[in-house]
Amino acid sequence: MSARIATAHEMIARYNAQDADAYVELMTDDACEAGYRGAVLREGREGVRSGLKAMFAQFPQNRADILTSYELGETVLLHEKVSRAPDGEQFEVMSIYTFSGDKVNRVEFIR
């Protein structure tokens, strides 16, 4: 497994632990999360941190499972299955992680 794929997988592990503080440690200060080719959902490390904390409060059993991982250049693509709760909403998402050096500076979601 490459270093970038390992970082993206570690982000998902931290996401599943609902540890927003640890999650953003793997991001650049100016990182963001956005819809694919769309609006920024969470801007900057602090925006990502606070957005995740709010989501984790709303969905305390939220979990993402990685189905497939790909890497090309400075980009990692994860195909994930997300469930809000064991009996709750489930959906699949493609997450595109763009790197700057060894940290993620943008995550885009296709859903």
Backbone angles phi, psi at 107, to 5 degrees: -125, 125
**Chain-wide mean pLDDT for the chain?**
95
Strand partners, 33: 42, 107
At 5 the pLDDT is 97
Question: Tens digit of pLDDT for each residue in 50-74?
Answer: 999 999 999 999 999 999 999 999 9
pLDDT at 46 over 90: yes
d(CA 25, CA 52): 13
User: Please, what sign has the CA dihedral across residues 30, 35, 40, 42?
Assistant: negative
Question: Which residue type does 85 have?
Answer: A
**How many whole angstroms separate alpha carbon 44 and alpha carbon 67?**
27
